[in-house]
């Protein structure tokens, strides 16, 4: 009770009954101990030998068995029982010839009993005794040989054995003399000295030391039955107890008891009030159980080792930790050592080992319950499971289990997975990113057998498409890039691929195509289980990084073909027929160089973001268990082995594409701008594609556009997106960047045409909304509600992807009206040879419908104005002005020409006759207008 923090006062039952009799006048000795406890005079009785099984329970008192029977009886040394097995039955003691061995005066030893020397009577003694027994007179009718023998064996010697009984100074139920009298046994009771237990044990030990027979009263459990006594006793069988035995005892005025002692069911009682007052004490009493061996062991420690009751019990507790653990409540005055799944908690002045609650766990002994980590499910105690789409790091510290989110939701698909079973059957490795079979490779989100089901020829299709696309790019891209509409459209879709999740990206093919990623293009297109190429995760990432350069290679191939054609044309005049069908700028080597240089610049703009993204993905490593692994190939340790060469490549690409090239272009454009050479024909021919789409004061803005795209790409790839929280944080950062870029664009309006400025505002706005839409996700999988949210998100994604496309009709209008404007300008120029002479050959050729590097597209669009009637042109202008302006129709050549004319006028106004010339010119213009009116 001290262990559980309760001060208990032990009182003997009979002492308490006397006290209560004097205080209350109630004799609880005549009542059940239950009544004493129920009336509040005692809290518990932890060892009660007096209550019987027939006693009725009382409300408010909990009772139970202590675990052993209190059994009194007759015992002899086991060695004596082995010497004569008949001594184990009470029948043997009906005869003096047997009982006399227990007479100390005869000085029998157990060895003599084993040798058969159980009597010292002679034959003469039996003959003399037979004369006085009628059954032994063979001359009479009462002769009975059997009765004669039995009487002689019973009477001859007339010596009784000594039976050692408990002293009468204790309140024990001792009926040894009534048993002897009832059964007619040749035994004489001898009471031991008080205290009875010590007296009985001393007599047994004395007989054992002298090898003397001994018979007497004893009970179990007792110290004499422990291993410390050195003595072994065996029970003498008496007639089995029955309730009638007690009736005989009572009727005979307690003089007869022809039975063995009744077994005592040792019980325990405790008031139910203790459960609320001291729950651990109540739990201790209700759980308290011992067997005979346990009690005998503690009594033996106390008696034979001269220990106090406290020390004997403590020694037994230390020697039996398993049994004690099942008895003593899990309660501690000091911080305990708790099992796995529990933690020590202090409250109500006690420490208690408490099981971890829901959403907490503990996987180690003597640990504490910790909050369930992100990516895990903790039902409580020592159980921890992987949450849906999360993977468990096998080498985790049990005190800090690590769970990581899997890309493409391929881990723990159904949720609540055992930590050792988070991958699908065909997946393995870190984040379940590898195929379990070494001959299988991931294609279209599935592991495909590349030995038996491979189709490498499928790569030829996108390769052919790339050649066709680059050929169209050669013909349709404008020479001077007077509008960024198409390039902004492509860049918009490329940037969108960084803003939406990979799951949503897989559902929108146009986005996959703009990533220039062969792997993304095949996803969702090729059948499941079909292998294109045997490429691992790292090889696929490297392939994505280098595929944009494939377009550069194709463009280089076309460039080489064009140069070779130019060389062969001089040797083979018959090839001139082909040259006649080519654009003017392809007919000489000088213009050919400028032609392809312009395309290289345009291709640089289109592939700028995919190249940076691919390089960043080669450097994008994530932490798994304290080690850095490639995010797209989680089994590959970063900056070592196979990853080292691609790391060097990626660093070079990042330095050149993000640093060297933008800085070099900025320096070049600023130098041309300060030198006033932006309008020079040679500069326009070579560098105009970089600054013509922008207003004059923003000629360097193309470099800033590169920086913006690089920042968005870096923020999308480098910022971790392993968990839902990290994904939302990255989207929030992108929202801030896009908002700042949009504000800057609204205030600066750097593009030359109003339509391009509006279109870029549309793209920024759509990207803002797409980023916000990507955040729409259900916090948990709740069936139909989750499906509704997913469908809503996809619907909004398609809507905001379509919004920039609304301006495509205005871009077509811009091309139509611009060519219409050029036609009118040419007609005016034919009437004035002076005006036409002011145009340089290059500028004039650039304005001609049949010249310029985009002549095929120009010729096609030039047919449109001829098909549009003049009365509809005004309506088209009015429609175009919704998102554009009339100034958008002026070409860069016209703006340059106007500036030259303004500079010429300024020079003329500086000479004395400048005013006269101006007046004369005005008169000529007025006359021409009048003449034109008369003709009309």
The CA distance from 301 to 310, in Å, is 11
User: Does some domain include residue 157?
Assistant: yes
Report, as an integer, the average pLDDT of 856-875.
58
pLDDT given for residue 235 in this prediction: 93
Same domain membership, residue 357 and residue 238:
no
253 and 349 co-located in one domain: no
Asked if residue 243 and residue 348 are part of one domain, the reply reads no
Report pLDDT for 891: 65
Query: Could you tell me which residues come within 8 angstroms of residue 880 by beta carbon, excluding any fewer than 6 positions away?
Result: 755, 810, 813, 814, 817, 888
Q: What is the span of the domain harbouring residue 104?
A: 69-261
| Together in a domain, 250 and 149 | yes
Report residue 486's pLDDT band, with 50, 70 and 90 as the boundaries: confident
Give the closest residue to 234 by CA, choosing from 85, 40, 23.
85
Same domain, 114 and 251: yes
Provide Rg for the chain, Cα atoms: 55
Amino acid 198: pLDDT: 85
The stretch 889-914 carries a mean pLDDT of 56
Residues ≥6 apart with Cβ < 8 Å to 620:
630, 631, 632, 717, 718
88 and 188 inside one domain: yes
Which of these, 807, 883, 852, 772, lies nearest to 488 by C-alpha position? Answer: 807
User: In angstroms, rounded to a whole number, what is the distance separating the alpha carbons of residues 142 and 430?
Assistant: 106
Based on the fold, state whether residues 369 and 237 are members of the same structural domain.
Answer: no
Whether the per-residue pLDDT at 514 is higher than 60: the answer is: no
Identify the burial level of 589 via C-beta atoms within 10 angstroms of its C-beta, where 0-12 means exposed, 13-18 middle and 19 or more buried: exposed
pLDDT tens for 175-225 read 888 999 999 898 888 888 777 888 888 889 899 999 999 998 988 888 899
| Residue 176 covered by a domain | yes
Residue range 548-585, pLDDT digits in tens: 888 889 888 888 888 887 778 777 777 767 766 665 55
Position 922 pLDDT exceeds 80 = no
- For 71-75, 685-689, 758-762, which range has the lowest pLDDT when averaged over its residues? 685-689
Kindly provide the residue ranges of all beta strands, DSSP E only, lying in 111-258, ordered along the sequence: 161-165, 187-191, 216-220, 233-235
DSSP H/E element including 895: helix 892-909
More confident residue, 876 or 594: 876
| pLDDT beyond 70 at 24 | yes
Shared domain for 216 and 356, answered yes or no, is no
210 and 80 share one domain: yes
User: The pTM is what?
Assistant: 0.58
Pairing of strands 161-165, 187-191: parallel
Q: In the structure, what pLDDT confidence band is assigned to residue 152 with cuts at 50, 70 and 90?
A: low
CA–CA gap between residue 720 and residue 132 (Å, rounded): 118
Residue 652 has pLDDT above 90, yes or no: yes
The pLDDT score that the predictor gives to residue 755 is 87
Residue at a domain's end among 202, 236, 261: 261
For residues 518 and 441, the model is more confident at 441
| Domain match, 80 and 223 both | yes
Residue 933 pLDDT grade (very low, low, confident, very high; cuts 50, 70, 90): very low
Query: Residue 81 falls within a domain, yes or no?
Result: yes
331, pLDDT greater than 70: no
The residue from 422, 457, 490 where one domain ends is 422
Burial zone of 411 (CB within 10 Å; 0-12 exposed, 13-18 middle, 19+ buried) = buried
Largest CA distance in the chain: 196
Whether residue 315 is predicted with pLDDT greater than 60 in this model: the reply is yes
Spatial distance between the Cα atoms of 174 and 191, rounded to a whole number of angstroms: 11
Higher pLDDT, 464 or 82: 82
Query: Does residue 397 lie within any of the structural domains?
Result: yes
Both 246 and 98 in one domain: the answer is yes
Q: What is the pLDDT of residue 71?
A: 85
Please measure the distance between the N-terminal and C-terminal CA atoms of the chain and give it in whole angstroms: 126
- Looking at per-residue pLDDT, the higher value among 684 and 708 belongs to 708
Task: Supply the pLDDT for residue 842.
Answer: 37
Q: What is the mean pLDDT of the chain?
A: 77
Of 515 and 345, which is predicted with more confidence? Answer: 345
What string of DSSP letters covers 16-33? HHHHHHHHHS--GGGS-H
Please count the CA atoms within 13 angstroms of the CA of 73 that sit on its side-chain side.
Answer: 24
Q: Report pLDDT for 695.
A: 85
- State residue 666 phi and psi, 5-degree precision: -65, -45
For 684, the token pair is: 């326009």
Question: What is the rounded distance in angstroms from the CA atom of residue 818 to the CA atom of residue 690?
Answer: 21
d(CA 438, CA 535): 11
The confidence score (pLDDT) of residue 75 equals 93
Q: What is the pLDDT of residue 136?
A: 67
Q: Which residue has the higher pLDDT, 713 or 333?
A: 713
Higher pLDDT, 378 or 853: 378
Residues 219 and 90 in one domain: yes
pLDDT in tens, 624-635: 888 899 988 888
Helix (H, G, I), strand (E, B) or coil at 66: strand
Dig out the tokens for 55 from the structure.
Answer: 């006693």
Residue 502 lies in a domain: no
Q: Minimal CA–CA distance to 603: which of 464, 760, 468, 474?
A: 474
DSSP notation for 490-510:
HHHHHHHHHHS-HHHHTT-HH
Average pLDDT on 542-548 reads 84
Choice between 461 and 525, residue whose per-residue pLDDT is larger: 461
Which of 213, 230, 261 is the last residue in one of the domains?
Answer: 261
| Range of lowest pLDDT (51-55, 279-283, 433-437, 608-612) | 51-55
Structural domain contains residue 490:
no
Give 445-485 pLDDT, tens digit per residue. Answer: 788 888 887 777 777 777 787 788 777 777 666 544 567 78
What percent of the chain clears pLDDT 70, i.e. is strictly above it? 75
Position 707 in a domain: no
Residue 353 has pLDDT above 70, yes or no: yes
Number of domains in the chain: 2
**Contacts of 98 by beta carbon, 8 Å cutoff, 6+ apart:** 86, 87, 92, 118, 186
When comparing pLDDT for 780 and 435, which is higher?
A: 435
The reported pLDDT for the residue numbered 591 is: 67
pLDDT of amino acid 477 = 63
């Amino acid at each position: 009770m001290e262990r559980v923090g309760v001060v208990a006062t032990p009182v003997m039952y009979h002492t308490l009954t006397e006290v209560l009799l004097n205080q209350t006048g109630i004799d609880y000795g005549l009542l059940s101990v239950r009544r004493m406890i129920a009336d509040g005079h005692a809290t518990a009785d932890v060892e009660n030998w007096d209550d019987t099984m027939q006693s009725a329970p009382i409300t408010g008192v909990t009772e139970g068995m202590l675990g052993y029977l209190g059994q009194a009886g007759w015992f002899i040394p086991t060695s004596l029982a082995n010497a004569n097995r008949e001594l184990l039955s009470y029948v043997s003691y009906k005869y003096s010839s047997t009982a006399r061995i227990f007479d100390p005066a005869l000085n029998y030893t157990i060895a003599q009993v084993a040798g058969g020397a159980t009597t010292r009577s002679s034959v003469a003694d039996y003959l003399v005794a037979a004369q006085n027994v009628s059954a032994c007179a063979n001359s009479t009718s009462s002769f009975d040989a059997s009765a004669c023998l039995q009487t002689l064996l019973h009477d001859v010697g007339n010596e009784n054995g000594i039976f050692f009984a408990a002293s009468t100074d204790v309140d024990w139920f001792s009926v040894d003399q009534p048993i002897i009298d009832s059964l007619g046994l040749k035994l004489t009771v001898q009471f031991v000295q008080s205290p009875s237990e010590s007296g009985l044990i001393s007599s047994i030990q004395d007989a054992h030391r002298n090898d003397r027979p001994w018979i007497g009263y004893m009970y179990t459990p007792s110290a004499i039955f422990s291993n410390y006594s050195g003595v072994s006793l065996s029970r003498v069988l008496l007639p089995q107890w029955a309730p009638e035995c007690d009736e005989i005892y009572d009727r005979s005025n307690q003089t007869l008891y022809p039975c063995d002692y009744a077994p005592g069911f040792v019980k325990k009682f405790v008031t139910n009030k203790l459960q609320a007052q001291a729950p651990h004490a109540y739990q201790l009493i209700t759980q308290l159980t011992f067997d005979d061996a346990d009690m005998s062991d503690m009594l033996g420690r106390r008696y034979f080792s001269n220990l106090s009751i406290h020390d004997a019990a403590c020694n037994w507790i230390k020697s039996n930790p398993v049994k004690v653990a099942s008895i003593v409540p899990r309660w501690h005055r000091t911080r305990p050592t708790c099992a796995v799944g529990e933690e020590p908690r202090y409250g109500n002045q006690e420490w208690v080992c408490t099981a971890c609650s829901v959403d907490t766990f503990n996987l180690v002994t003597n640990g504490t319950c910790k909050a369930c980590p992100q990516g895990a499910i903790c039902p409580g105690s020592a159980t921890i499971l992987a949450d849906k789409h999360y993977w468990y790091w096998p080498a985790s510290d049990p005190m800090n289990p690590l769970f990581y989110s899997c890309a493409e939701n391929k881990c723990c698909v159904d949720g609540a997975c055992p930590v050792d079973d988070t991958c699908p059957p065909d997946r393995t490795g870190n984040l379940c990113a590898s195929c379990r079979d070494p001959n299988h490779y991931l294609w279209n989100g599935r592991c495909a057998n590349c030995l038996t089901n491979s189709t490498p020829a499928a790569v030829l299709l996108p390769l052919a498409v790339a050649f066709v696309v680059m050929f169209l790019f050669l013909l349709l891209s404008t020479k001077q890039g007077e509008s960024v509409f198409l390039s902004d459209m492509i860049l918009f879709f490329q940037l969108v691929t960084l803003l939406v999740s990979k799951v949503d990206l897989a559902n929108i093919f146009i986005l996959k195509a703009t990533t220039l990623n062969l792997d993304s293009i095949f996803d969702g297109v090729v059948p499941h289980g079909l292998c294109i190429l045997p490429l691992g995760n790292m090889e696929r990432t490297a392939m994505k990084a280098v595929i944009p350069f494939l377009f550069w290679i194709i463009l280089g191939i076309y460039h080489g073909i064009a140069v070779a054609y130019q060389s062969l044309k001089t040797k083979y005049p018959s090839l001139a027929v082909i040259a006649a069908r080519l654009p003017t700028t392809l007919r000489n080597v000088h213009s050919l160089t400028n032609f392809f240089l312009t395309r290289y610049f345009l291709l640089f703009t289109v592939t700028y973001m995919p190249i940076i993204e691919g390089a960043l993905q080669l450097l994008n490593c994530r932490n798994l268990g304290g080690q850095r692994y490639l995010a797209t190939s989680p089994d590959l340790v970063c900056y070592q082995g196979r990853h080292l060469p691609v790391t060097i490549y990626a660093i070079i690409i990042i330095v050149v594409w993000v640093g060297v090239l933008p800085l070099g272009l900025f320096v070049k454009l600023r130098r041309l701008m300060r030198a006033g050479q932006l309008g020079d024909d040679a500069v326009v021919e070579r560098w105009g594609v970089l600054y013509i789409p922008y207003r004059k004061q923003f000629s360097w803005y193309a470099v800033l556009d590169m920086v913006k795209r690089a920042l968005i790409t870096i923020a999308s790839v480098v910022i971790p997106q392993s968990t839902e929280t990290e994904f939302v944080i990255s989207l929030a950062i992108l929202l801030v960047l896009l908002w700042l870029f949009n504000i800057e664009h609204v205030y600066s309006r750097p593009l030359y045409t109003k339509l391009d400025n509006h279109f870029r505002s549309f793209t920024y706005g759509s990207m803002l909304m797409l980023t916000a839409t990507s955040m729409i996700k259900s916090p948990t999988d709740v069936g139909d509600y989750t499906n509704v949210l997913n469908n809503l998100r996809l619907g909004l994604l398609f809507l905001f992807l379509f919004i920039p496309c609304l301006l495509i009709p205005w871009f077509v209008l811009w091309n139509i009206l611009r060519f219409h404007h050029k036609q009118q300008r040419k007609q005016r120029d034919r009437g004035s040879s002076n005006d036409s002479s002011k145009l340089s050959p290059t500028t004039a050729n650039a304005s001609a419908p049949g010249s310029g590097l985009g002549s095929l597209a120009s010729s096609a669009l030039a047919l449109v104005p001829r098909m549009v009637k003049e009365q509809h042109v005004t309506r088209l202008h009015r429609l175009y002005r919704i998102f554009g302006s009339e100034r958008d129709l002026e070409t860069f050549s016209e703006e340059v020409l106007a500036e030259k004319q303004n500079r010429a006028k300024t020079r003329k106004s500086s000479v004395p006759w400048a005013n006269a010339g101006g007046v004369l010119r005005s008169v000529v213009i007025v006359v021409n207008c009048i003449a034109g009116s008369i003709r009309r």
